[in-house]
Structure 1
Amino acid sequence: MTIFIVAVAIIALLFALYLSKSVLKESMGNDKMKEISEAIQEGAMAFLNRQYKTIFPIAIVIIVLLLFTEFGAASAIAFGVGALFSTLAGYMGMYIATRANARTTNAAQSSLKKALAIAFKGGSVMGMGVVGLGLLGVSLLYIFVAKGNPDLIPAIDSFAFGASLVALFARIGGGIFTKAADVGADLVGKVEAGIPEDDPRNPAVIADNVGDNVGDVAGMGADLFESFAATSIAAMLLGSTLLGTVGVMLPMMLGAIGILSSIIGTLFIYTGGEDNPQASLNRSLYSSFILSSIAAFLLTKFMLPDHQVAYFIAIESGLIANILIGKITEYFTSADFNPVKKIAESSNTGAATNVIYGLSVGLESTGMPILVIIAVVAVAYIVPGGGEYGFYGIALAAMGMLSMAGTIVAIDAYGPIADNAGGIAEMAGLDPKVREVTDKLDSVGNTTAAVAKGFAIGSAAITAIALFSAFAQRAELTSLDVLNPMVMMGLFFGAMIPFMFCAYSMRAVSVAAFEMIEEVRRQFREIPGLLEGKAKADSKKCVDISTKAAIKQMILPGLLAPVSIVVVSFGVAALDPQAALQVLGGMLVGGTAAGVLLALTMSNAGGAWDNAKKYIESGVHGGKGSEAHKAAVVGDTIGDPFKDTSGPSLNAVIKVMGTLSLIIAPIIAAMI
């Protein structure tokens, strides 16, 4: 069975290689298109290199510290593999995404269907890389480090922490980069200078296009790689004590059948005869859902000695949650529905009413997804019988959600490729009909990005609950008493972390954006003929500003959660180890609850503001250049760090707290 799992992981990577070659054989178009695409490639890869070089010393320190833990070298190796594979997934996805953009633009000159196919293939490389490397890492560590022994699963749980660390910095750094560039490009270019989006006269446009990739390709990929790794490890830990080898193998088998379902699902993107990108993407998503559901039923039927139906229901609840959370997110963030239309309408009376209404939509949008998450946890816990059976059911529900990660990441990474394609069409001065085609692709990409963020937050919430169950097992905790002051102290401290994190990350965007705004203004002022289109903007300077600012500003928010967990846990443990476990448990509960609610609010409010602006640009309420449009641009600019920096980064904050607790818990428990 382990051979089958490893083989499927390798198939995913080979499929990614096949898709890469399929994309790269397409033409990039004329010399101008190549020049723009290569500038985006250069900026994106330069940022990734500097980001990972910054993370490297932190990772080395952690590896050295892990050598002194219970499993020593095994934990250090697992951590290193998790960090390395997450990094490889980021490079893999970024490499193709930044090369698929011009090829998508060129294809858009002939047909929408061909452009859609190239953009989705480019996104699928990231999707297959995430799940392929995730499953390969977990399975190889189980075979060679844990020696195939279910009792040694704790020796490899730091794999998830390695993935979490990279994801945290990838999300924050990428988010700061992209929003510094986006805010600078929008406020100075569109609002002050009155030039169109993606206008080549705007020096921040290339940086903005680079940012789309480092945020929504590398960032989202690292985020869901982390979820896949953390959920797999948590499910394997819980399953090992409950069912032995079968309990360990089932989560990995769910990952394997999810990969196969996603590969087949990608083929459905090309089967329709209509020129409707959303319908094509939906076919891929729903076919993956149906195939994963059938395979999950067969797995539970033939692998489990008992509770087959109960655990299938648990897994299916996670799969259904994907669809429900996606639909809810679409309702609150798509211009097809009332919330976004009302935000656009409120823009008629100025920026203040736009912001107030948009924030209310974000707050309201937390209700239904939380009810879905509650329902999944209740079903997955109660149906198998509660207790340790129920905790394993929750972990399998999370694994059910993430079995579709390959398709979800592919659909998400498609968005930046389509967005870049539109920017290249504009900057290269192609026929306006080409931009119309890329705008159709991009409008769908905005919705799929919001849906993917909803999926990432929902899966992070259930993953965090699974990690908490594994933490309780490792810490030998049977309950947390809310009347215990230590638990309440931990709960409030943990709930504070997401808010402090958002404060630091939002401020980081503001600081970086200030530098970008000043640079764009300087170039408009000092480069003769730039605004008249007679001179060339210095795009490299803007990319460099975003890169330096993002690397510098990501350190403080990135270290906040892990340092808080370590300092508080061991600080209390020095006085009372038993109390430290209670405090740590409270921190995980508070951090998860506050983090999920805040992430949903920020991600959905930002997505709604963005699409309200685009809805006005379609011609309603005066269209582009109107007072309503100017107000909507302000709301969208506020929403940028909400949806692309702080909001999605909270997923990584929640999970890094959970994965780190798995390492700390047995150390503190041994002190009792």
Structure 2
Amino acid sequence: MNSSIVLAISGAAALLFAFILAKSITAQPSGNERMKEIAGYIEQGAMAFLRREYRYLTVFIVVVSVIIGRFINVPTAICFVVGSVFSILAGYFGMKVAVKSNVRTAEAAKHSQQSALKVAFSGGAVMGMSVVGLGVIGLGLLAIIFNLNAYYLTGFGLGASSIALFARVGGGIYTKAADVGADLVGKLEAGIPEDDPRNPAVIADNVGDNVGDVAGMGADLFESYVGSIISAITLGAAAFNNNKGIVFPMILSAVGVVASIIGAIVVRTSKAENPQKALNIGTYISGILMIIGAAVVGYTTFGDFKGFSAIAAGLIVGLLIGKITEIYTSADYKSVKEVARQAETGSATTIISGLAVGMKSTMWPIILIAVGILFSYFVMGGNTDPTLGLYGIALAAVGMLSTTGLVVSVDAYGPIADNAGGIAEMASLPHSVREVTDKLDSVGNTTAAIGKGFAIGSAALTALALFAAYAQAVDIKIIDLLAPTTLVGVLIGAMLPFLYGALTMESVGRAAHEMVEEVRRQFKEIPGIMEGKATPEYATCIDISTTAALREMVLPGVLAIVIPLGVGILLGPEALGGLIGGAIATGVLVAILMANAGAAWDNSKKYIESGAHGGRNSEAHKAGIVGDTVGDPFKDTAGPAMNILIKLMTIVSLVFAPIILKFGGILLNLFK
């Protein structure tokens, strides 16, 4: 059977599974009237944000598709539109179900932890299966329509990356503006608990969990997933005279979809008491199935185990990065406990300790990524044919992302559990319910951190593979670091993640400032809020987060596209190559630092809240809240945006390679 058809069929299977899960969730009871009322606020706010965001993105899609159609070609423009629309649909489907799963998880928590885990994970799995289903259906159908033309398919990746950037940045700004505003005024100034219905920002905070950590995260991994497949197809076309190099990653991706579905079924049917254990079992089973499938498909395609070895290297590196991330960000290990201990002496030592954890946590992931790159390069024969070696690196990226369906499912489960806890608190459910949701939420924080580590590792390999595809497109064999234009490109590229981090952090700061002022105003001007006799104006806070997120996401999104094009056109293809190299090097490091430091601060606060170092309302707890507040934009806005930044710049360079090759170096030509 044609590999493109196999890919499309596997995607259809994933979407069918997602549909079945969605129906099973909506069939679950949704609790009492108060629970339904709170869940309704969250759902209305989340969907309102998506509708407004998609109006902005529609304008962007139309403008960019016209530019691509005019200056590149129409098929690439069509693929760009499809990639953009499918990325939007993945986020929409996932979040639509997530905001229905939260209240049902809270209701299920009345009965047992296993019941609550099943509902929450099923909600996350709808997001996961939508991501891989739409990704491989899109690629499969476009490959059929355009006869496996690898260059045209890069437009699909560009569409996915562009939407991912706006979704991740916009969603991240939204959620952290609400979260920071709610914590600073509610917990620190007013002294009321988290998720207290008296806090005007509490609904916006719960909405933010969905738009940032479900829709935004899903769009992030959607573009990583399709980007890895596209880079492998592009380099496979260059490395082989036949279609073997193209067919292998496509069939392998189909196997990964099946492995993810089986892993999700294992999690849903697990009887394990510990939710982390249930999630781990599903992850390991899907990984084992993927390795077996890669061995069979690799040997059938190439007659040896070279392709399988590259795939296995990527998958193993991804799993190891996830485990290392857990070690640095889980309260079960010493790093988070040390951050909590430092909170006893105040906010300053909490910040210092968390930053140290983030910096230290960069070492092993980078070593693992380096080992994966070298192994996959040489095992595919890079010592004799560099193109084959680069194809091996692309396969490692495919391997790392092969079980994306399950990775996203595990990651998206966390915000649903978090929302369930908020609903339980606001609806005054028994303390036993909150204990269950808190346990699920604690595991969700760790799974989210693992997901971010996984996304960072895959971003590095995917960006490197796309970088190699760009070099092929503009016929660059060697990048000379002694050439001044290349060195300038490296410096600009190395600077960009820091500029990008600053822009997104400042955006969160400005939006959070507006939120803090509004919450203070309501506490002051609306009598009866603190006594529970008056309902806060939740809609006003939701509107502040929505407006700020949409306003602030535009500049970072535009810069990520304009700067690489500007450098390429002004200074030439080699300078742009230097820019990509510099951005990948610093972007990966900054992403790991921010993600792990933020998660360490978050979980150290929760560790204190569990009773350590004086427990809730102690001085250590207050310092932990400050650390968590600083870490919020680190781990949920600026850090995740780095992954998309480096991939978006590489695929922009690849798609616009003909323009850069034709017009690149305008500024240099003035001096000739």
Aligned pairs (5 A) from 1:481-520: 481-520=480-519
Query: Aligned-pair distance for 1:3?
Result: 2.1
Shift of 1:554: 1.0
Residue 235 of structure 2 corresponds to residue 238 of structure 1: yes
Give the whole-Å Cα distance in 1 for the aligned partners of 2:355 and 2:622: 18
Structure 2 Cα separation of the partners of residues 656 and 671 of structure 1? 21
- Where do 1:144-293 residues align within 5 Å? 144=145, 146-148=146-148, 152-243=149-240, 244-293=242-291
Of 570, 583, 602, the residue aligned with 1:610 is 602
User: Using the alignment, how far apart are the partners of 2:57 and 2:8 within structure 1?
Assistant: 29
Aligned residue for 1:5?
7
Instruction: Give the match for residue 588 of structure 1.
Output: 580
CA distance in 2, matches of 1:54, 1:505: 18
> CA separation in 1, counterparts of 2:92 and 2:640?
20
* Letter of the structure 2 residue corresponding to residue 186 of structure 1: D
Give the distance between the partners of 2:569 and 2:6, measured in 1 at CA. 42
State TM-score, norm by structure 2.
0.97
Find the counterpart in structure 1 of residue 474 from structure 2.
Answer: 475
Structure 1 partner of 2:115: 114
Aligned residue identity for 1:188: V
CA distance in structure 2 between the partners assigned to 1:215 and 1:221 by the alignment? 9
Report the more deviating stretch, 392-401 or 531-540.
531-540
Asked whether the equivalents of residues 127 and 405 of structure 1 are also in contact (C-alpha less than 8 Å), the reply is yes
- For 1:398-477, list aligned pairs within 5 A: 398-477=397-476
| Residues in 2 aligned to 1:183 and 1:8: alpha-carbon distance in whole angstroms | 41
Structure 2 residue runs of 5 or longer lacking an equivalent are 665-672
CA distance in 1, matches of 2:557, 2:29: 40
Distance 2:439 2:355 in 1: 27
Shift of the alpha carbon at 1:271? 4.0
Report the counterpart of residue 141 of structure 1 in structure 2: 142
Paired letter, 2:346: G
Q: How does 1:73-152 map to 2 (within 5 A)?
A: 73-144=74-145, 146-148=146-148, 152=149
CA 1:594–1:115 in structure 2 vs 1: closer, same or farther (change >3 Å)?
same
Cα distance in 2 for partners of 1:246, 1:381 equals 18
Q: For 1:95 and 1:45, how far apart are their aligned partners in 2?
A: 8
Are the counterparts in 2 of residues 131 and 259 from structure 1 also a CA contact under 8 Å?
A: yes
The answer as to 2:331 corresponding to 1:354 is no
Q: What's the CA shift for 1:254?
A: 1.4
Alignment of 1:27 with 2:29, yes or no, is: yes
Residue 36 (structure 1) aligns with: 38
* Separation in structure 1 between the aligned mates of residue 307 and residue 150 of structure 2, nearest angstrom: 21
Equivalent residues of 1:497, 1:560 under 8 A apart: no
How many pairs were matched up?
A: 658
* C-alpha distance in 2 between matches for 1:238 and 1:364: 34
Structure 2 match to 1:60: 62
Partner of 2:394: 395
Deviations 1:520-561 (A, max 9, x none): 111111111111111111111110110001111111122122
Aligned sequence identity (%): 55
2:61 partner letter: A
Per-residue deviation, 1:68:
2.3
280, 294, 297: which one pairs with 2:295?
297
Indicate whether 1:657 and 2:658 are aligned: no
Give me the whole-angstrom Cα distance separating, in 2, the residues matched to 1:528 and 1:300. 69
Secondary structure, aligned partner of 1:389:
helix
Does the 8 Å contact 2:11/2:136 carry over to 1?
Answer: yes
Q: CA deviation at 1:671?
A: 4.6
Deviation at 1:447, TM superposition (A): 0.3
**CA offset at residue 229 of structure 1?**
1.4
Tell me if the contact between 1:86 and 1:167 (Cα under 8 Å) persists in the aligned partners.
yes
Q: Please, which moves more after superposition, 185-194 or 560-569?
A: 560-569
Distance 1:123 1:194 in 2: 33
Paired residue for 2:47? 45
Q: CA deviation at 1:570?
A: 1.5
Of 313, 316, 320, the residue aligned with 1:320 is: 316
| AA in 2 matched with 1:256 | A
Q: SS of 1:335's equivalent? A: coil
**1:200 aligned counterpart, secondary structure:** coil
Distance, in Å, in 2 between the alignment partners of 1:499 and 1:466 is 23
State the SS of the aligned residue for 1:157: helix
- Distance in 1 between residues matched to 2:328 and 2:256, nearest whole Å: 28
Equivalent position SS for 2:71: coil
Any gaps of 5 or more consecutive residues in structure 1? 573-579
What do residues 238-296 of structure 1 show as CA deviations (whole Å, max 9, x unaligned)? 11122231211111111110000010111111444332111110111001100000000
Match of 2:617 among 622, 625, 649: 625
Quote the residue 2:668 is aligned against.
Answer: none
Aligned AA for 1:67?
G
Q: Distance in 1 between matches of 2:270 and 2:638?
A: 37
The equivalent of 1:575 in structure 2 is: none
